[in-house]
Structure 1
């Protein structure tokens, strides 16, 4: 696969990816970026958003593994790796 300038995103933490995405939004909102660069920046933003979504989904899945009693209190947990 060809280098697309976004390969570093795969290793970013959620916080770093969100910070980079926020900077992209600021840059694009200013409107002083040339069109070619705006397109590349937008594409990077889309990749960052997808990465953040993936990390959030993984975190949600982990939280859902906590079992609650009928009263809504945690009564047990399921191992995060799915082994029982």
Structure 2
């Protein structure tokens, strides 16, 4: 999967919870994940709401991981290999 550094169309949106996680920047996904975790810790009124929050949290965590893995690949590609250092 290719990770873009372009801002998503939902940047600055006041309703990030309805945005597709794949369209979120790392910061947007991370911030929403923090909100979802806080809401889960407070306890949702129903089991269905808890499950919906959990699923959203899983999708947001996966998006953050995609961004981090993409960043690692870019750093690894920019770093000279051991053979190039000589």
TM-score, with length taken from structure 1: 0.69
The count of corresponding residues between Structure 1 and Structure 2 is: 67
Q: Trace 1:1-80 onto structure 2 (pairs within 5 A).
A: 8-68=20-80
- Residues in 2 aligned to 1:38 and 1:69: alpha-carbon distance in whole angstroms: 47
Higher RCO (C-alpha 8 Å, min separation 6): 2
- Structure 1 gaps of 5+ residues are 76-84
Q: Structure 2: 5+ residue runs without aligned partners?
A: 1-16
CA 1:39–1:64 in structure 2 vs 1: closer, same or farther (change >3 Å)? Answer: same
Deviations 1:49-79, CA, capped at 9 Å, x for gaps? 0011011000000011123486xxxx7xxxx
How far apart, in 1, do the equivalents of 2:18 and 2:52 lie? 10
Aligned CA-pair RMSD: 2.1
- Three-state SS of the structure 1 residue aligned to 2:20 is helix
The 1:20–1:32 alpha-carbon spacing in structure 2 relative to 1, beyond 3 Å, is same
The ranges of structure 1 where at least 4 consecutive aligned residues each deviate by more than 2 angstroms after the TM superposition are 66-70
In 2, distance between residues paired with 1:7 and 1:42?
Answer: 16
Which TM-score applies when normalising by structure 2?
Answer: 0.68
